[in-house]
Amino acid sequence: MPARVPGPALDPSTAWSPLSLFRLFFSSSVVQRLVDNTNANALMRSQAGKKCVWKELTGREFYIFLAMTILSAVVHVAHVLDYWLKEGPYDFPFAAENMSQERFEAILWSLHLSDPEEDEENERKRNTTEYDRLFKIKPLYTDISAACKAHFQPYRNISIDDRMVAFKVMEPHMRDQPIKWGYKLLVLADSSTAYIWNFSVCTGESESTAGRGLSYSSVMDLLPLPLLGQGYTLFVDKLHTLPSLRICSRKTLAVVGPLEKIKSAFHRRS
């Protein structure tokens, strides 16, 4: 008995555009918050004596900045300046017609997701249990995580596994993964579609607050059982196969693992 009808939770009568679908996961409210925090950060940098030519960022400009960032992730060139070339071998009219290279770099250097003043408060808690290592990404992190759960209900079979987000200068190094360097995520995905329904960023903490270890908490933190409902089958590898998980979840879902063939198939789909 799932909590909702499995599948996308979207109105089929609505004429969805790429932008409207994007805004489901990158909402207008969080965009405005990122714009406000970026403007506040640029002001703080200027007051601190940083050489930064800045004019106030608008929501429209931020969407252009996002579009150019996505373009740079999909289309790779030898140098960032090549996106603004107006002649061969590259021709990207969108960049040159909508935002100068200097403005793009100014936004990039001042970009800030969290409130800079609240950052300082969090920094004062460093080396204490109240310090939040993910604080600077929380506005976007929590918004996208909530959207992933709101707009889709998984089918019967789900899987928990790790996922690497490529980043060149970031640890950890995952030798057996297709992407070896980057941010490590733990994801709960629908097995039939590979849709990521929930995720968490690994912070390197060795023990959970519950005291049962990372293998236990990584699974239970990704499983808000009331939102899922009952009757699900969870596929995991040996890292997440624990007797305590079987005991605590047996009334709601079946835990199956380790199944390396299923894990390999999951990686091929994703």
Query: pLDDT by residue (tens digit) across 63-79?
Result: 999 999 998 888 888 88
Handedness of CA 125, 126, 129, 133 (dihedral sign): positive
Q: Is 110 exposed, middle or buried (0-12, 13-18, 19+ CB in 10 A)?
A: buried
| Pairwise pLDDT comparison (181 vs 141), residue with the higher score | 141
- Give residue-wise pLDDT tens across range 9-24: 998 888 999 999 999 9
User: Which residues, in sequence order, are bridge partners of residue 190?
Assistant: 158
The residue type of 138 is: K
- Give residue-wise pLDDT tens across range 145-182: 999 999 999 999 999 988 877 765 444 444 555 545 56
Q: Using 50, 70 and 90 to split pLDDT, how confident is the model at 203? A: confident
Q: What single string gives the DSSP state of each residue in 13-65?
A: TS---HHHHHHHHS-HHHHHHHHHHHHHHHHHHHHTT---------HHHHHHH
Whole-prediction pTM: 0.78
pLDDT of residue 161: 86
| Pairwise pLDDT comparison (211 vs 95), residue with the higher score | 95
pLDDT of residue 180: 53
Q: Using 50, 70 and 90 to split pLDDT, how confident is the model at 59? A: very high
Q: Using 50, 70 and 90 to split pLDDT, how confident is the model at 135? A: very high
pLDDT of residue 197: 96
